[in-house]
Structure 1
Amino acid sequence: MSATVGRSDFDRVMVPNYAPVNMVPVRGAGSRLWDQQDREYVDLAGGIAVNALGHAHPAMIEALNEQAHKLWHVSNIMTNEPALRLADKLVRATFAERVFFANSGAEANEAAFKLARRWGHNTCGAQKHQIIACTNSFHGRSLFTVSVGGQPKYSEGFGPAMGGISHVPYQDIAALEAAISDDTCAVVLEPVQGEGGVIPASTEYLRAVRALCDKHHALLVFDEVQSGMGRTGKLFAYMQSGVVPDILTSAKSLGGGFPISAMLTTAAIAEHFVVGTHGSTYGGNPLACAVAERVLDIVNTPAVLDGVQQRHETIRAELEQMGTEFGVFSSVRGSGLLLGAVMSDTFKGRAKDVQALAQEEGVLVLQAGPDVVRLAPSLIIEQEDIAEGMTRLRAALRRMVG
């Protein structure tokens, strides 16, 4: 298949903040992708946990086409029907009473952190601005969100870090108890740390965090950008533990590949964002909301959510078998269809090699740091695609161990 542009053009025309792999995908269907040479891949990466319904799902295409013939953009000077319908469905399906729409996970988290600080300022005074987050967390790439994220490699070199932010180890309740105070406005957590290594928080830990937040009159913010929208087998991961946050952020799978994000909260907290305090030109875009509404309608069903857990068990068993067979993985962790295969001591630091060899064998996987191979496929990936993907990944591991 001929192409007028290719991977080499990236280095010629794009800012070099990414290092794309050496193939360029041009077409997708379900959990399969094809590149410029018409080579097929089984997609177990899911656009980094974005393509909840795979590629080119007919219901999403239909929703986009219908809305494209009606209304594309009106700005936040006025509202629109798709945004109101989607917000209503999110409120009905969750703890939330109010919704703010933006375009990316970073923007949803930016809104959440700003709201938490405005809430603290209005309820207790300017001193109530401390935000506590976890080391190895990831909350986005804006200056505020990289400051809250506990990974210095993303914030170093951009000038002074934003103040009033503290970090404690994930799942260390004693460390949080020592750090939190009445000046804390919010504790920010990923119920499943994604970029930090695919690590689910225990229910006991989340309950203890909730109790500390209540004790110190602080908000609990759950970043569910990666874990939300059915990824764990529940619509949102907080539903697994029953620990309800005050603010929740969603993106990635929310649009199934169309850029959209949301911040969900209660009416009492939302009222601190009065007119003019925050906004987004494209937030609540009719096209994005129409697609996301259709995704939500499909994902938030017993058939899809129960199927996530069934697929989890199949894939986890395969990965554990590969760990035994090749000695490459020491354990497999995660929740639902967000799985992490931890590299054994012998192969420590070589998750990137697995990713590269897997691509050569025709299957796409991800990393979560140097020591974890991450899988985040479509929530409705077919069994035959799982089987073929596992066969190709096994071939890659066989090559790796020689």
Structure 2
Amino acid sequence: MTITGLAEPFLRAQLESLGLAVEYVRAEGDTLYRRGDDGRELPVLDLVGGFGATILGHNHPEILALAQELLSARVPVHAQFSLHPYAETVARRLNEILHRDTGDPGPYTAVFANSGAEAVEAAVKHAELDRGLKAAELLARIDEETDRARRAVRDGAVLSAAARRLADGGDFESLAAALTAANRARAEEPPVLLALTGGFHGKLVGSVQLTHNPVVREPFRALAAPCRFVPAEDPAALAAAIAEEHRTALGLTVSDGTVDLAEHRLPRLCALVLEPVQGEGGVRPLTAGYARELQRICAEADCPIVVDEVQSGMGRTGSFLASSAIGLRGDYYVLAKSLGGGLAKAAVMLVHHRRHRPGFELLHSSTFAKDAFSTLIAARTLDLLEADGGARYRQAAERGERILARLEGIRDDFKDVVADVRGRGLMLGLELRDQGDSTSPALRELSRAGVLGYAAAGYLLHAHALRVFPTASATTTLRIEPSVHITDPQIAQAESGLRALCDLLRTQDGDRLLAR
């Protein structure tokens, strides 16, 4: 038996069929260098940016120098269960930024992780801990109410008609037993997680349940608590979903010598998880009006909001948090990707003090999280973003506006090919029209197979030295996520390549799309 040693042979075959099976050997700024057939390095303009991880570009000189310095100094990666002053510095800095951007003084407690999906799961785990403890506290209060009512009955109080109906035997102890059984049965119902249609929050066992795309979610739906999806930009649908999941626990009150039933809201909503700009769902920003209504509805239902800023945060959309630009405040924030400066695997979950449960980090931990190397790089990344009064945020907005204007020009010139252009800052998307009815057999087949965007990426790579990818759940939308340092000549190169792609689609030249 021969062992080939290939990692993910299926994926490799897919990459080869789409012209994406290339090896990148070096990276700098917005340029990746791939190895050519003759061994030479060929520059490629990278508009994927590590799916949003390189807001400062590949191998930023200051981040690279710090990484080399830390490795030479042999800073510990594994010093678990000890003081982590560097992580505390990052947490303090993030609190300052959140206070400035949201107006909420917090504070937020930071729980560190290695990836966005892991940090999302930490947020959901914490929200469930908080929900479970609140439910237990409610049941304990109801037990106290029951004891008070028991004493009142001994002193001559009588049961109301509603209480007698619940008490099958008619006496108080039958009532107390029925009440306890009903409350515990309701409290043991699984929690309700809410997320928006089109959302993407990872592919781990828990986070994949929050990812709307059924292709990646449904094979694993039996492994964790399911999620209820509600359409984005539809406050009425969110309110209706929350109302349907409302549960009550029954307690007892004593008034004027009568023991009666009392309803208490039973905590059942674990959290609503959302992205202020849906990345893998096709680069779709939420509106300020929807954010305002969403905030109100969740506050009334005591449903915590987990704001997933893994791809949209760290200044990518022109402000540190994309959510702050639309007035959305989270009980939890999740940051990752660019937090590591494009080099370190760093992520963090931030939980507001009004929700925080002390001791959570004893229940949730990660071997490589919060180490000196990743948190020192995260701290330097924050310093670079915040330098000169947040000049890089303004730079992201300006560069994004320039690119967006070029994309809108392409859309206007190719309305038969481009369905939409959208996004904010340096998180942009160009949506191609479906080619399922194309006169080209190749385009027709690619479109119906859902890989037209990937084939377009292969064409742009080989014909125009451009690296783009479609978004995962909306594969006709090409993502544009460069660093803040993208230059005017690079923007012109991107425009030229995208125009050539649109011209090819307009002329239905499927053979040229697949030529390598």
Task: Judge same fold: TM > 0.5, yes or no.
Answer: yes
Structure 1 unmatched ranges of 5 or more: 1-10
Q: How does 1:209-358 map to 2 (within 5 A)?
A: 209-257=294-342, 258-301=344-387, 302-326=390-414, 327-345=416-434, 350-358=452-460
Tell me, yes or no, if structure 1 residue 166 matches structure 2 residue 170. no
Question: How far did 1:86 drift?
Answer: 1.4
Please tell me whether the aligned partners of residues 117 and 128 of structure 1 are also in contact (alpha carbons under 8 angstroms).
no
Question: Deviation string for 1:256-290 (max 9, x for gaps)?
Answer: 32211110122232225435211111111211112
Tell me, yes or no, if structure 1 residue 83 matches structure 2 residue 87. yes
Counterpart-to-counterpart distance in 2, 1:339 and 1:143: 29
How many residue pairs were aligned? 393
**Larger displacement relative to structure 2 (50-59 or 13-22):** 13-22
Query: Structure 2 vs 1, CA of residues 128 and 272 (structure 1 numbering), >3 Å: closer, same or farther?
Result: farther
Structure 2 unmatched ranges of 5 or more: 100-106, 137-186, 247-266, 437-446, 508-516
Counterpart-to-counterpart distance in 2, 1:274 and 1:317: 46
Amino acid at match of 1:134: L
Amino acid at match of 1:177: A
Structure 1: 4+ residue segments shifted above 6 A: none
Please tell me whether the aligned partners of residues 137 and 195 of structure 1 are also in contact (alpha carbons under 8 angstroms).
yes
Counterpart-to-counterpart distance in 2, 1:282 and 1:190: 26
The alignment partner of 2:483 has SS state of: coil
Please tell me whether the aligned partners of residues 42 and 362 of structure 1 are also in contact (alpha carbons under 8 angstroms).
yes
Identity %: 32
Tell me, yes or no, if structure 1 residue 49 matches structure 2 residue 55. no
Counterpart-to-counterpart distance in 1, 2:396 and 2:221: 43
State the match for 1:392 in structure 2.
497
Amino acid at match of 1:371: T
State the match for 2:480 in structure 1.
375
Counterpart-to-counterpart distance in 2, 1:385 and 1:65: 29
Counterpart-to-counterpart distance in 1, 2:6 and 2:226: 39
The alignment partner of 1:143 has SS state of: coil
Question: How far did 1:245 drift?
Answer: 0.5
Question: How far did 1:154 drift?
Answer: 1.0
Question: How far did 1:183 drift?
Answer: 2.1
Counterpart-to-counterpart distance in 2, 1:393 and 1:229: 27
State the match for 1:107 in structure 2.
118
Tell me, yes or no, if structure 1 residue 66 matches structure 2 residue 69. yes
Tell me, yes or no, if structure 1 residue 179 matches structure 2 residue 241. yes
Please tell me whether the aligned partners of residues 101 and 261 of structure 1 are also in contact (alpha carbons under 8 angstroms).
yes
The alignment partner of 1:112 has SS state of: helix
Amino acid at match of 1:317: A
Counterpart-to-counterpart distance in 2, 1:346 and 1:159: 32
Amino acid at match of 1:246: D
Query: Structure 2 vs 1, CA of residues 254 and 275 (structure 1 numbering), >3 Å: closer, same or farther?
Result: closer
**Larger displacement relative to structure 2 (294-303 or 169-178):** 294-303
Question: How far did 1:295 drift?
Answer: 1.3
Question: How far did 1:164 drift?
Answer: 5.1
Counterpart-to-counterpart distance in 2, 1:18 and 1:278: 33
Amino acid at match of 2:426: L
Q: How does 1:2-41 map to 2 (within 5 A)?
A: 12-16=5-9, 18-19=11-12, 20=15, 21-37=20-36, 38-41=41-44
Question: How far did 1:70 drift?
Answer: 4.1
**Larger displacement relative to structure 2 (329-338 or 147-156):** 147-156
Please tell me whether the aligned partners of residues 155 and 161 of structure 1 are also in contact (alpha carbons under 8 angstroms).
no
Question: How far did 1:138 drift?
Answer: 0.9
Question: How far did 1:148 drift?
Answer: 1.7
TM value normalised by structure 1: 0.92
Tell me, yes or no, if structure 1 residue 145 matches structure 2 residue 207. yes
TM value normalised by structure 2: 0.72
Query: Structure 2 vs 1, CA of residues 80 and 272 (structure 1 numbering), >3 Å: closer, same or farther?
Result: closer
Counterpart-to-counterpart distance in 2, 1:389 and 1:164: 41
RMSD: 2.1
Question: How far did 1:300 drift?
Answer: 2.8
The alignment partner of 1:137 has SS state of: coil
Query: Structure 2 vs 1, CA of residues 296 and 393 (structure 1 numbering), >3 Å: closer, same or farther?
Result: same
Counterpart-to-counterpart distance in 2, 1:260 and 1:344: 37
Please tell me whether the aligned partners of residues 322 and 328 of structure 1 are also in contact (alpha carbons under 8 angstroms).
no
Query: Structure 2 vs 1, CA of residues 356 and 383 (structure 1 numbering), >3 Å: closer, same or farther?
Result: same
Please tell me whether the aligned partners of residues 45 and 376 of structure 1 are also in contact (alpha carbons under 8 angstroms).
yes
Identify which of 182, 193, 200 aligns with 2:285: 200
The alignment partner of 1:322 has SS state of: helix
Counterpart-to-counterpart distance in 1, 2:63 and 2:79: 23
Question: Deviation string for 1:179-205 (max 9, x for gaps)?
Answer: 113521211111111111111011111
Counterpart-to-counterpart distance in 1, 2:476 and 2:497: 20
Which has more helix, going by share of residues?
2
Query: Structure 2 vs 1, CA of residues 43 and 398 (structure 1 numbering), >3 Å: closer, same or farther?
Result: same
State the match for 1:135 in structure 2.
197
Query: Structure 2 vs 1, CA of residues 306 and 17 (structure 1 numbering), >3 Å: closer, same or farther?
Result: farther
Question: How far did 1:218 drift?
Answer: 1.3
Counterpart-to-counterpart distance in 2, 1:49 and 1:139: 14
The alignment partner of 1:54 has SS state of: coil
State the match for 1:3 in structure 2.
none
Counterpart-to-counterpart distance in 1, 2:422 and 2:237: 24
The alignment partner of 2:360 has SS state of: coil
The alignment partner of 1:39 has SS state of: strand
Question: Deviation string for 1:38-61 (max 9, x for gaps)?
Answer: 111111110111111111211101
Identify which of 102, 111, 117 aligns with 2:128: 117
Amino acid at match of 1:52: I
Amino acid at match of 1:152: P
